[in-house]
Amino acid sequence: MFHDMMEPAGATARFDALIVATPGYTRDDPLRDAVIATGGRVLASVGWDEALDHLEATVAAPLLLLDAREVDDERLASTLYRIDGLAAGRELAIIAGVSSAQIDIAAAGLVGRQVELMCDPEPAEWAAAVSVWRAVNGAPLHDRIAESEAARLARLNAEVARIADVLARLSRPQEAPRPFASESSVADVRPVFAARPEEPIAVEAGEIRQVIRARRLRDRQFGKGLFEDPAWDMMLDLFAAHLERAEVSVSSLCIAAAVPPTTALRWIARMTDAGLFERRPDPFDRRRAFMGLTRDALDGMRAYIGTARAMGVPLV
């Protein structure tokens, strides 16, 4: 049964939200509070049995808040990928809360670019996640116009700078030409000390595992939280698994990150967007997905190791 929420009279909502949670006010209270506190309106709060029908019937483009805790694995697996497909087709953002035991199912079912996964979120984390989404994607119309004007001015300034750079180089023909700013990006940067292809770098998985153990030793000696470096910890774990020809599930990678699961999930998404991680579905179990390094990331790891060896410095 749908639980439709009415906003206060006279209020003007800046965005709409649809909540999917286990039936009952207790479970969806933090989600409703997060939406209302950030200026939104809850269109409805529905159970998982009703989620797909209600989403398909909703004309608006709401933010989707999913609390998957207390949902059985089979139902969650069969529903998430359909919600993800509907959301991707309509460009809807999803904020989902799952238990630690559901991480693999959620990671396999929610593969869209506008997905925020949280593990056992507290009420404050729901509010923070909605606030971040609101700040990045939920600006009202006049804010978007202002941002559009600012972007246009930024492009004009960049074009003026480019023309000035061209004129300056034309007055100094002896200088080697440099790429325009518009023709280069962070993704174009190549390692200065990259190993030459004719000199393949031999790396043993045990060597990488030793580095990982040394990093965990610091935590035991000085306490957890002081040396957090989840991106590199996960890079090392995935590289070692690649050398071992082993598969790494999302939940296992979260453990390797040595940070809270929600933080690890955010870093997995960030590294995937950066083109360093790739997600591969388990061909035998749709409820699970494996993570791995992309070809560029593997080449970068070998180049890093080759450079470190050439410089005589240890891997860290």
Q: What is the mean pLDDT of residues 232-238?
A: 97
pLDDT in tens, 240-268: 999 999 999 999 999 999 999 999 999 99
Q: Would 3-137 and 205-311 be classified into the same CATH topology?
A: no
**Alpha carbon distance 91, 102 (integer Å):** 24
pLDDT beyond 70 at 128 = yes
In this prediction, residues 49-57 reach a mean pLDDT of 91
- On the 0-12 / 13-18 / 19+ scale of CB atoms within 10 A, 171 is exposed
**Is-contact 81 109, C-beta < 8 A?**
yes
- Beta-bridged to residue 290, according to DSSP, are 249, 280
- For 126, counting Cβ atoms within 10 Å of its Cβ (0-12 exposed, 13-18 middle, 19+ buried), the class is buried
* Count of other CB atoms within 10 angstroms of residue 83: 22
Please tell me the CATH code under which domain 3-137 is placed. 3.40.50.2300
CA gap 262, 103 in Å, rounded: 10
Instruction: Give the pLDDT score at 34.
Output: 92
Q: In angstroms, rounded to a whole number, what is the distance separating the alpha carbons of residues 204 and 315?
A: 13
Q: Which of 262, 269, 250, 257 is nearest to 228 (CA)?
A: 257
β-strands 115-119, 63-67: how paired?
unpaired
Q: Are 95 and 118 in contact (CB under 8 A)?
A: yes
| Domain 205-311: CATH class, spelled out | mainly alpha
Mean residue pLDDT across the chain: 81
* CB-CB contact of 68 with 115 (8 Å): no
Q: Greater confidence, 247 or 145?
A: 247
Domain boundaries, the chain: 3-137, 205-311
Q: pTM of this prediction?
A: 0.72
Burial-class residue 209 by CB neighbours within 10 Å (0-12, 13-18, 19+): middle
**Neighbour-count burial for 4-15, b at 16+ CB within 10 Å, e otherwise:** ebeeeeeeeeeb
Confidence of residue 142 (pLDDT cuts 50, 70, 90): very low
Residue 187 has pLDDT above 50, yes or no: no
Question: For the segment 164-181, what is each residue's pLDDT rounded down to a tens digit?
Answer: 555 455 545 454 444 444
